[in-house]
Amino acid sequence: MAEKFREDSEIISQECIGTDIYSMWLKTDKIARAAVPGQFISVYSRDGSRLLPRPISICETDKEKGALRIVYRIAGAGTREFSKYHRGIKLSILGPLGNGFPLERAGEGKKAFLIGGGIGIPPIVELSKQIGGVRQIIAGYRDEVFLAEELKQNGSLYIATEDGSCGTCGTVIDAIKENGLDADVIYACGPTPMLRALKSFAQERGIECWLSLEERMACGVGACLGCVCQSTEVDGHSHVHNKRVCKDGPVFLSTEVEL
Amino acid sequence: MSRIDTSVNIAGVVLKNPVMTASGTFGSGEEYSEFVDLNKLGAVVTKGVANVPWPGNPTPRVAETSSGMLNAIGLQNPGMEVFIKRDIPFLKKFDTKIIVNVCGRSEEDYCQVVERLADEDVDLLEINISCPNVKEGGIAFGQDPKAVEHITSELKKRARQPIIMKLSPNVTDITVMAKAAEAGGADALSLINTLTGMKIDIHKRAFALANRTGGLSGPAIKPVAVRMVYQAANAVKLPVIGMGGIATAEDAIEFILAGATGVSVGTANFFNPTATEEVVSGIEAYMEKYGVDKITDLIGAVR
């Protein structure tokens, strides 16, 4: 099992990169070096009235500098608090958490779809840097596009927007179809409706598909059983059909989970 | 540090210190053993164990509230056989006492678990008659003094280990329930379980929890818990294990002064994975600072 670290990490920089979307680089020696694409960190509030850590996916790591980047959307008081902090402020974080994307399922001679939807796009950035083979990145947005520059650097980027303001008008699957793309393996992170659609898309076409799930969490380390998802097989922990998103996931094979 | 004595005796079981984990917040210790040296804890109290695996409630199961949180996990657990095969051997590797939290939907369920554990190497059983998040069992046994006394006496007849009855704060008078458990033959009490609460997401116009209601825990409930521990400890002769919002040694000492022999750290594990160990060292520092030789001198010292 990969080791987890609790660190008081210093904010190196923070900028707003879209409506309510923020990008923060944190100085964190151990976590950045240990992290693999698809893992997340728990970010603790500095306000004692907000107890629970916010699980936020790792967007990028810079192992030489010992730094990691998170890109998050303001979803409530906790993330709003984080968005107000600037360089030099310290945030308590725990990580790297979860399993991450299995990079070895792609590689030489294989074509992969790297798919992100909305605030599920950030972990696709580091994934696109580290994965081998042919990288076809499909990013779905409601309207406003973000992180496109980063994604473009690591593969061919296809964009879908719900309002049609950029790229394909519609979903990531519409973009795949419009561009006539195919793949041997899919990696995806995004809202549940998108993951559900990709699960059946992959099943129809017989493509191996890895999905990164999201759920309300408390502990982030597998103890509280707050963030379970329905699994097709009996889970290893409670011997029912509940896998823990924080510990057994967040990345699951699409056939492993019911969405 | 060797001069001070932090050991406490709960129903004949001597714990090296009064600090334990609150059931349901610490699994069976494995997840937190990456952060905490379990050897330093007085006891590990496990997540509730039933006779068979329980799937628990639908998600979302947790929601944050001001200085607290709501949960409605619904006692998801692998059942006693997996627990015995996997979790007891894990915990036996450490120099700490094992307290198994027992849950059930019916009296028979509780009896089965207690009987199955009779020959297992565990130190104490904590009987959960106070979970607010399951439809049958749980709290249904904990809100009526006759039911409390009855189930306590039935389990006491069958149990090989001393039994701790875990009480609910969702009652009019905690002393009535404490006395009922004592009359039924309980060896100790633990309190408080969570307070039933509700949160509504005004943007989605929906309940924050799939179960609609959940159990409130965390620092928000600490004053209620201290009051109830004080009342219960003064109403019965049994040792009381206090819990409800303990995050620091100062919190723990407050409970001890109110009458608690043991103290459990629960929700704090979620926001500080090393909270349990910090409470242990903080209690020692407090005793050093005030020249307290034996922690038992502090139990119920404020009257």
Q: What one-letter code names the amino acid at A153?
A: Q
pLDDT at B2 over 70: no
Taking the Cβ of residue B25 and every Cβ of chain A, the question of whether any pair is shorter than 8 Å is answered with yes
Residue B100 and residue B127 in contact, taking contact as beta carbons nearer than 8 Å:
no
Q: Which of B270, B284, B166, B295 is nearest to B228 (CA)?
A: B166
Tokens of A19: 């409506």
Q: Which residue of A has its CA nearest to B63?
A: A216
Q: Do A216 and B31 touch (CB under 8 A)?
A: no
Nearest by CB: A4 against B34, B47, B64: B34
Q: Do A227 and B61 touch (CB under 8 A)?
A: yes
Nearest CA distance, A167 vs chain B (angstrom)? 30
Nearest by CB: A215 against B59, B63, B68: B59
Tell me, what's the ipTM? Answer: 0.93
Neighboring chain A residues of B76 at a CB cutoff of 8 Å:
225, 228, 238, 240, 242
| Sequence spans of domains, chain A | 5-97, 103-214, 215-250
pLDDT at B1 over 60: no
CB atoms within 10 A of CB B12: 11
From B50, B117, B124, B131, active-site residue = B131
Position A204 scores a pLDDT of: 96
Q: Which residue of B has its CA nearest to A97?
A: B31
Helix spans in chain B (H): 80-82, 88-92, 107-116, 145-158, 174-183, 222-235, 249-258, 268-271, 275-290
Thinking of the domain A5-97, which architecture would CATH place it in? Beta Barrel (2.40)
Thinking of the domain A103-214, which architecture would CATH place it in? 3-Layer(aba) Sandwich (3.40)
Taking the Cβ of residue B297 and every Cβ of chain A, the question of whether any pair is shorter than 8 Å is answered with no
> What digits encode the pLDDT tens for the residues B105-131?
999 999 999 999 999 999 999 999 988
Taking the Cβ of residue B53 and every Cβ of chain A, the question of whether any pair is shorter than 8 Å is answered with yes
pLDDT at B139 over 90: no
C-alpha of A18 from chain center: 18
Q: Which residue of B has its CA nearest to A215?
A: B60
Beta-carbon contacts of residue B203 (< 8 Å; ≥ 6 apart): none
Neighboring chain A residues of B218 at a CB cutoff of 8 Å:
51
> What digits encode the pLDDT tens for the residues B61-85?
999 999 999 999 999 999 999 999 9
The reply, when asked if residue B56 is annotated as ligand binding, is no
Q: Do A226 and B73 touch (CB under 8 A)?
A: yes
Nearest by CB: A216 against B62, B78, B82: B62
Quote the CA–CA distance of A60 and A126 in Å, as a whole number: 5
> What digits encode the pLDDT tens for the residues A180-230?
999 999 999 999 999 999 999 999 999 999 999 999 999 999 999 999 999
pLDDT at A117 over 60: yes
Catalytic: B111? no
Q: How far is CA B229 from CA A24, B67, B171, B243, B264, in A?
A: 45, 20, 14, 8, 12
Q: Which CATH superfamily is domain A215-250 in?
A: Dihydroorotate dehydrogenase, electron transfer subunit (2.10.240.10)
Tokens of A73: 């959307």
The DSSP line for chain A is ----EEEEEEEEEEEEEETTEEEEEEE-HHHHHH--TT-EEEE--SSTT--SPEEEEEEEEETTTTEEEEEEE--SHHHHHHHH--TT-EEEEEEEES----GGGS-TT-EEEEEEEGGGSHHHHHHHHH--SEEEEEEEESS---SHHHHHTTSEEEEEETTSSSSEES-HHHHHHHTT---SEEEEES-HHHHHHHHHHHHHHT-EEEEE-----SSSSSSS--SEEEESSPPTTTSSSEEETTTT-SEEEGGGEE-
The reply, when asked if residue B142 is annotated as ligand binding, is no
Taking the Cβ of residue B278 and every Cβ of chain A, the question of whether any pair is shorter than 8 Å is answered with no
Name the 3-class secondary structure at B98: strand
**Residue A28: pLDDT band by 50, 70, 90 thresholds?**
very high
Q: Buried b / exposed e across A9-32, counting CB within 10 Å, b at 16+? A: bebbebeeebeebbbbbbbbebbb
Quote the CA–CA distance of A79 and A119 in Å, as a whole number: 13
How much is the mean pLDDT over chain A? 96
The reply, when asked if residue B133 is annotated as ligand binding, is no
